[in-house]
Amino acid sequence: AQPELAAWETPDFEEVGCAAEVTMYV
């Protein structure tokens, strides 16, 4: 039995918010 490998996608990130939103998330 082979473990199922997930599909690879190019790793990426996108900035979506500013300092005020950081405070809200935290």
Partner 1 sequence: MHPSSRPELTSHVRLTFDRVREQHLLLTPEAVSVLNPTGAAVLELCDGRRSVAEIVQELRGRYQQVAADEVARFLTRLVGKRYLEVRDA
21 alpha-carbon distance from chain centroid: 16
Token output for 14: 């996108």
Q: Does 1 bind partner 1 (CB under 8 A)?
A: no
CB neighbour list of residue 17: distance below 8 Å, 6 or more residues apart: 25
Residues 3-22 that bind partner 1 (CB under 8 A): 3, 5-19, 21-22
Residue nearer to partner 1 on the CB measure, 1 or 13: 13
Q: Does 2 bind partner 1 (CB under 8 A)?
A: no
Residues at the contact surface with partner 1, assessed by CB under 8 A: 3, 5-19, 21-22, 25-26
